[in-house]
Amino acid sequence: MKKNLFLLIVFISVLSFSGFIPPVDDSYLTSSFAEFRSTGNSPHFHGGIDFSTFSKEGIPIRAIYEGYVVRLELNDPIYGNIIVLQHPNGYRSLYAHLRSFNYVLQPIVDDVVKEFQNEKVVIEFSDNEISFSKGDVIAYSGKTGEAVKPHCHIEIRNHDESILVDPLEFFEIAPPEGDIILKELIIDGKKVEYNRGSVYTFTGDYPKIEMNAFLKINNNMLGLKEIKLYFANKLMYDILLDEIPMEEFYKPYSVYSKDSIAAGYIYKTYYRLYPEVLGTPIKINNFPTLNTNLDFFQVRIEVFDFWNRKKEFSFNLKRER
C-alpha cells in the first residue's frame, strides 16, 4: 500500500500541556513515531513524527518552544539538513529535511558550503549563542536526505540525545476519525488472511505471529502505539513505542519482522509478536514461561493507537506435529 500518496489530515491545536507548538502553521500529521524505515544506510526506526508542508519547499519551520541553537548538520544521508534546539525544560528538538535556514543562520551555512560543498558537516554553537523564541522561523522546508517529498520531520530528544521520545506526547492533537486495520497475519512464515475465530496451524516450540496492522485514516496509514498479545487471557508480550534509545535506532527488528518494507511510497510493515530480538519497546515478554507442550492456543491481540483507542483481534492456533 502506498504511504503519504494521500496525506492524512489531522488538524493540530496551537497549545499543548508542555507549551510546545507545532513547527508548521495549519498543518497535519503524515507519519508517527517509531515506524519502520528501510531507507538510508540501514533499516531503522522513524525517530520522530512528520508534519505536512503541503508537498512544498520553502514553507516556514518554527521553533516549537523557546531555546537556543545547539548545532546544524548538512548533508546527512537520512536527515539531510538539520537544526537542533535546546529548550529550558531539558529536552531538545530536531528539525530535518530542511532546504535552508533563517536569515541569521543561512549566511553561516553558505560560508561552510563554499568550503565543504556536499560533504556532511556539523556546525556547533555555544550555549545561548543564537537564541529563538517560541514561534520564530528557524528554517524552511525541503526534501534533503531520504525525504521523498518536502515535509517537516521533528524529533524530541533528552538533553544528551541518548533517547528519542515520541513527540506526540508534547503536542495536543485531536483524535482523528479512523480505524485500526489488521491487514494480514504471518504465522510460522506463512501469510494468512485474518478471520476472527479462525484456527491456524503452527509448528515448533511456540507460535511465531507477525501482523501487518496500522491506523487507517482516509487513504493514509500511521503506525501503532502499543500491541498486547494474550494466550488464553495471559499477557505474553507487550510492545510499547514510547521511546527509543539512540543505541537501538538501527535495531528495528526488535519490533518488526524482516518481511517489512518502508521506502518511498511503499509501506508494508509487520510487527513481530515473539522474542527473536529484544529491545526497549518490548515491555513484557512472558514467552520463557510458556508451556511448550501445549498444542492449542486461544489468541487475543489488543492494539492501541496514540489516543489509546483499542481494537481487539482473536483467533486460535493449533500445533501440527
Per-residue model confidence as pLDDT tens digits over 43-91: 999 999 999 999 999 999 999 999 999 999 999 999 999 999 999 999 9
Domains 29-170 and 179-319 share a fold: no
Asked whether the beta carbons of 203 and 242 are under 8 A apart, the reply is: no
Task: Say which CATH class 179-319 falls into.
Answer: mainly beta
**Nearest residue to 82 (alpha-carbon basis) of 163, 145, 149, 165:** 145
The DSSP call for residue 23 is: S
Burial degree of 39 (CB within 10 A; 0-12, 13-18, 19+): middle
- Taking only the tens place, the pLDDT of each residue in 121-140 is 999 999 999 999 999 999 99
**161 versus 14: which is more confidently predicted?**
161
- Cα–Cα nearest to 187, from 212, 214, 213, 207: 207
Using an 8 Å Cβ cutoff, are 136 and 66 in contact?
Answer: no
Share of the chain above pLDDT 70, in %: 94
pTM of the model: 0.91
Q: Could you give the 3-state DSSP secondary structure of residue 164?
A: strand
- For the chain, what are the domain ranges? 29-170, 179-319
Cell digits of residue 219: 487513504
pLDDT, tens only, 191-217: 999 999 999 999 998 999 999 999 998
pLDDT confidence of residue 19: 84
pLDDT of 172: 82
Overall fold of domain 29-170: Glucose Permease (Domain IIA) (2.70.70)
